[in-house]
Amino acid sequence: MTWPPLRTELQGVEPYGAPQLDVPVCLNVNENPYPPSAAVVADIATSVAQAASTLNRYPDREFTELRSGLAAYLNTSGGTGITADQVWAANGSNEVMLQLLQAFGGPGRTAVSFAPTYSMYPEYARDTNTTWVAGRRHDDFSFDLDHAALLIAEHAPALVLLPSPNNPTGTALEHDVIGKLCELLPESIVVIDEAYGEFRRDGVPSALELLPTYRNLVVTRTMSKAFALAGARLGYLAAAPEICDALRVVRLPYHLSAVTQATAGAALRHADELLASVTELRAERDRTVSWLREQGHTVADSDANFCLFGLFADRHAVWQGLLDRGVLIRETGPAGWLRVSIGTPDEMGAFKDALTETLTAMLTEESL
């Protein structure tokens, strides 16, 4: 027996996570480049100080005030009439996803997604002993409903997990697709992961609109991206009240600390200010897509705060060339593609310069 006695399927597995390197320009994990303003920081500090004065007590296990605040926000962000009992939250949307799989997946049950898809999903499945099946998308990353219908008929999944906008491609799902999936699997849970939902382009709808129609639809969100709060770890979902209620059975008691509840509550009170950065980032994203295309690259349409571009015969060399020039992006997605997060105009300037220099240097090397 090997030591320590990890489960067989975990032995030799590297912990998930992008390298945390100390680099001047970090465009690798889709963070929002704009830190909270002094006003937001001050309100967080005041709210946490207030919570801290009773930290000897356990927090509100049902985080009722936060649920109300999130519901109110969702009704300004694509949702209508969403109530507090339709909202659930946890420490990051990864804990939300884990709870969904604990409750509705697990041994003898299957979860499916369609690649390219978020690389953490199979890890959540593994950690909850849920069978994992990955179908595929069309080559242009649009959703292949015919293929999905066949895969679903074959595997009868308990859950479907689909990011929209998709990570790492940036592709949003159409209402037709989501509706069809909910209808194909009326006794299963269809999770639409809108971690990047606020960055969608004008005219692209949110899956929140479909909640009144499909009782098996779950829409997840996070405060990490649009709210620029990756460090606070607050993910949440909207769904039918009975689905939220079911998650109470598997959530660890008091899973959301009083400090987390206070921090998220303060950020919600500054939603307008925090979301202003979303407008800037969407514009910068569109400019980045245009520039990459002008340079002759292939770029997936993006409704997120990142874009996937290529195709490179040796993407690792391009990634390394950027890193050598102080710009860290992500080597992810199908072979030949790279993903860059949208930063400030200065950061994107550095990215463009580094990419141009890298590709020029590679061409020169080749011609020598």
Chain positions 256 to 275 lying near a copy of itself, rule: CB under 8 A, are 256-260, 263
Q: Which is nearer to a copy of itself, 96 or 172 (CB)?
A: 96
From 279, 283, 362, 272, select the one nearest 317 (Cα to Cα).
Answer: 362
Residues 37-56 that bind a copy of itself (CB under 8 A): 40-42, 44-46, 48-49, 51-56
Q: Which of 248, 236, 234 is nearest to 191 (CA)?
A: 236
Give residues 108-127 in contact with a copy of itself (rule: CB under 8 A): 109, 120, 127
Pick the closer one to a copy of itself by CB: 62 or 324.
62
> Which of these segments, 133-141, 168-176, 182-190, 351-359, binds a copy of itself (CB under 8 A)?
182-190
> Which x/- pattern over 59-78 shows residues binding a copy of itself (rule: CB under 8 A)?
xxxx----------------
CB 162 within 8 A of CB 191: yes
What are the backbone dihedrals phi and psi of residue 265, each rounded to the nearest 5 degrees, phi first?
Answer: -60, -40
Rounded distance between C-alpha atoms, residue 62 and residue 88, angstroms: 9
The reply to whether 250 sits near a copy of itself by the rule CB under 8 A is yes
Region binding a copy of itself by CB under 8 A among candidate stretches 70-78, 141-149, 221-229, 296-304: 221-229
In sequence order, the 6+-apart residues with CB closer than 8 A to the CB of 203 are none
Query: Given candidates 24, 212, 213, 254, which one binds a copy of itself under the rule CB under 8 A?
Result: 254
Work out the angle at residue 300's Cα, subtended by the Cα atoms of residues 179 and 363, and round it to the nearest 5 degrees: 165
Rule CB under 8 A: is residue 367 a binding residue for a copy of itself?
Answer: no
> Could you tell me the smallest distance in angstroms from the CB atom of residue 236 to a copy of itself?
14
Q: How far apart are CA 368 and CA 356, in angstroms?
A: 18
Please say which residue, 252 or 283, places its beta carbon nearer to a copy of itself.
Answer: 252
Nearer to a copy of itself, 49 or 283 (CB): 49
Output the smallest distance, CB 70 to a copy of itself, in A: 17
Find the angle CA(203)-CA(209)-CA(215) to the nearest 5 degrees: 150
Max Cα distance, the chain (Å): 69
Tell me which residue of 157, 87, 152, 168 sits closest to 120, measured CA to CA.
Answer: 168
Residues of span 319-358 touching a copy of itself by CB under 8 A: none
